[in-house]
Chain A
């Protein structure tokens, strides 16, 4: 239902008192004003209105039949014809200008009040007026009792009187209610009264309230007020159904009350807050109020109340036939007659309200809401094949409150009652149905047109529709058509199987009649199967070529079915929803293939989530095969596998619409591109057939709170990306190839991209929390991070920000994550073993993991860089702020070393300690492993080894390396260098490194293990040469530098390095060869790793040692550099 709205006013007359009325059929609005003209508008937008000049000034207007009666300043009530405006006689003569007119419904009795203090009643039969004199001031208004017995009048003397019409002077009641004035124009109120159409009540605006007096005893029943309106109410008008009262104030408020509940329905404000001098309720079913103000402006308020005036019968007839059937006055009387007691009134109202809130008043929505099933079915299908359905039991008034279960529909269709409609619009193509208005009678007139988006799938089809198909489903393999059952003609299924061959092409189609009494309600086309749901709650599955495969039972009354590849979605009613809501369940099955656990994505009917009081507008799958729905409120939901069979909102399409009555018609969605394909339908729910609408693409946006903030945006991105990641993981896990992606590599690539974006968003979110000093939140973010790698990055970042406590905590998180991942991996491997019989599967998965390794390393590098930049920026700023820090920054190299060593010092209980062990290598080493593993993989099948090896690697690399991208790159670039060239003049090398460090602060920051050596050096091997030498010559070193024993091991290594530098070249070569020899002997690095691992377990001493050595190798460089530098200075 469209929202009520105040339309902008438009000019009608000169400034001054203006009056307004509707013609009886509600088609025209007639106004008159101080310019003496009468204008006849056909609605507010009518630019071609008629203008009839009647006098110098017109003050009152009323319409009866084809005539308009106008009160003019020449003291007459003149009749003019509606069409031509020619004079049709003078009705009443006063001695002063008339102020207000009223006419009885049959037009027999015209009453006018005038400034001459008299009321004249004109009966056309008598040609003689009766004059009511009794008011002591000009008359303000008159109101005729609908039953024709009484007349209410108000006057400037402040009185309101009820007259008996039959007489001239008997006053039934008189109240002194109004402020007294002496002229019509000076009166603050017009006191335009109204009778309820039943005649039981007369409503009088008094002050800011409306008094309601009961008939005959004229007792004040109650007052209607609204706190929003404090000004004097001047006009009251009753809706033609009698359930609502509208009143307007002198300050332009328009307020509508529900008479039964006495509650305010709406309050509208005149755009310019002008005194409203005329207010009328559209006498036709249209929920519209027209008003004029004292500036001569004329306006309407549309959709004033959310009520369907249509009487019950009309309603049910009207749904499929005509959205807004024109109503006759008899209908109203019927309505009134059937709803005499107030209780029923309320019932009627509530159901109407529910309907309207369900979107029932929308024309097309009727298609979705079957409403009071039996009646509707009978009407629309002209067949009574299923009067036994539960809903068709004649609804007694009590059950009327229950919401109507939604009618079955075909996802992607537009309503059946349209002449030209879409039978389906999906990702594959469009099926249009052209009916002629009487095609139900004349079977040859209708036709069906199939257009494929991709013309390479199939050429367009066009054929007649003698079988009156109403349902269609389209896939790239088949077009499925189904018809409802008609008298004598059973429901029919017809399938065009595009891929069929043989038999001269004539047998591409197959047809099937359902057993009498069974009727198709929805069809779906999947890959290699056809599904048909019937009103007997059965689900029939056929193969594409027509083999009946299964007859399944749906869990309830089927609402719709949809298919994608080998998946079949079934949406059924699962019961009566509470408080106007639909209660549906959804099931997603996999058709065909082998059985097994977890085969069906959603094996049990589980509740389908919908927005409050909405219904399902579309259901289907994304391109990736995740169930997706949109409801009538425009919320797009997608299955969230992570939380069982729950759903998540991926888009609120309403935020993209301009008008409230605009809707998006869903066609499909792609999770990969994170968008939803839909058609914007202006002012309706369904796209028109002509002109051909365009598909628009909306990006998915999870409605997070405060989505516009940076935090919100990042959170949204995190959520969305991880949702996609989950889908991709799932699809690759189920080994299901996704059609849109040709190869497995592509899929992997997409997955990594998404993984990366999740990580990026997480890191940014973490950084945001860190910067805001929200450590606890930062910790939370880390706990949500997908892998320990990312946490590692976060730790680095935290360490940089000197948030050591946080970093420590994060360490725990990372350790926990690592453990988890390890377990996961092991489980996976076990599973892999189980599935070993499927070689393809294994291979694919294996590849995936490997790729992931490399990829993640790559990613981390990039992200590190990113972080680095961020950090750099911060640092610079800080330095500018604080001169002390500048000094600190100069010594940053030391600082960082300190941080690292603190983090890694054996004394600290560090969860990564173990992982530090196999250090020695930087990136290069890892690369070697990765590369090796890839090649090894195929030959060797000891998969258990893999996770154990890999993880500590990365872990350590991240943790340890107080990272510098440059150094890592160098490391990578030098991997292949022969070991002979490893050490050239070390002094030179030191110098070199010193230079580079002095030039760039960044390098200061770097881990010195991998200093910018001449490109020939292999960082991993060089230290080992030194270390080997050191192992042998430890005594000697200690002798020469006795301080080294007590001091740091690092010092020792540093001095050792100095000595090693000086030793004889041949000795050096020997050790170098030795060092180089280690690698070849352990030909496979992984073996070495394993060894280290083993050693690890066996000898904690050794472990400690190796760790120290590693650290030392870094520190030695640093110290040597310092030394060098000092000597230079």
Chain B
């Protein structure tokens, strides 16, 4: 899956906005949105929120988890834990990215949040890499990785199976050549 596709999926995540206009319900394919009342928070899909924000029609409200304290905690937890921890949002990186790029002034401590989320991402990716490395070294045949988010899985997906294929091929050929070697030895 492409990161663009994942972003597309992530844009369906609900986000709270405070509109500065009043409008009736919008009947969208994915469901009804609204009604919008100026000054009152309403939950909309992320794509709509960002779109409205770009047009200056609303103010985005940072999701509950997008809070320096909570993210610091999460980061600490991620750091302490050997396995992956549950993320507060399936598309945390994308949501953060989108929100921060479209409305940094709506999110308190935007810079810090950006850093924190990036840190968490790095932690998880390095965890993922190291576990992949461990997996290969231990020559295991299967492994489970729980609580990986879509984007994280897809960060290794195109490459890892391919690499395994290559490895497999290499080991197979090595094995084969070994075999042929031995047969040759016997022959001699």
Using CB atoms and an 8 Å cutoff, list the residues of chain A in contact with chain B.
427, 429, 452-457, 677, 691-692, 694-697
Contacts and interface: CB of A to CB of B under 8 A. Distances in A.
A450 to B, nearest CB: 13
B41 A429 contact: no
Q: In terms of DSSP, what is the predominant structure of the interface of chain B? A: loop
Interface in B89-134: 108
A427 B39 CA distance: 7
B160 to A, nearest CB: 42
Nearest to A454: B38
A695 B41 contact: yes
A452 B18 contact: no
5 contacts: A453-B39, A694-B18, A695-B18, A695-B39, A697-B41
Contacts of A453: 20, 38-40
Given A452-B20, A453-B20, A454-B21, A695 B108 contact: no
A454 B20 contact: yes
Contact of A454 (B16, B39, B41, B108): B39
B173 interface: no
Contacts of B20: 452-455
A677 B21 contact: no
Contacts, number: 33
Contact of B38 (A452, A691, A692, A696): A452
Contacts of B38: 452-455, 457
B40 A697 contact: yes
A454 B61 contact: no
A695 B21 contact: no
Most central of A429, A455, A696 by chain B CB within 10 Å: A455
Contacts of B171: none
Contact of A455 (B21, B41, B108): B21
A694 B21 contact: no
Nearest to B39: A453
Given A453-B20, A455-B21, A456-B21, A691 B39 contact: no
Contacts of A694: 16, 18, 41, 61
A867 B59 CA distance: 46
Given A694-B61, A697-B40, A454 B18 contact: no
A634 B38 CA distance: 25
A695 B22 contact: no
A454 B59 CA distance: 12
Interface string B70-93: 000000000000000000000000
Most central of B40, B61, B108 by chain A CB within 10 Å: B40
A47 to B, nearest CB: 15
Interface string B1-26: 00000000000000010101110000
B111 to A, nearest CB: 14
B108 A677 contact: no
A694 B19 CA distance: 12
Interface string B45-58: 00000000000000
Given A454-B22, A697-B41, 15 more contacts: A427-B39, A429-B39, A452-B38, A453-B20, A453-B38, A453-B39, A453-B40, A455-B38, A456-B21, A457-B38, A677-B40, A694-B16, A695-B39, A695-B40, A697-B40
A712 to B, nearest CB: 29
A695 B38 CA distance: 11
Contacts of A452: 20, 38
Contacts of B21: 454-456
The 5 closest A-B pairs by CB, nearest first: A453-B39, A454-B38, A453-B38, A455-B20, A691-B108
Nearest to B59: A692
A902 to B, nearest CB: 49
A687 to B, nearest CB: 13
A503 B133 CA distance: 78
Contacts of B108: 691
A472 B61 CA distance: 27
Nearest to A430: B39
A457 B38 CA distance: 10
A697 B18 CA distance: 12
Most central of B21, B39, B59 by chain A CB within 10 Å: B39
A456 B40 CA distance: 15
A457 B40 CA distance: 15
Contacts of B59: 692
A241 B156 CA distance: 69
A696 B22 CA distance: 17
A564 to B, nearest CB: 16
A810 B92 CA distance: 60
Contacts of A429: 39
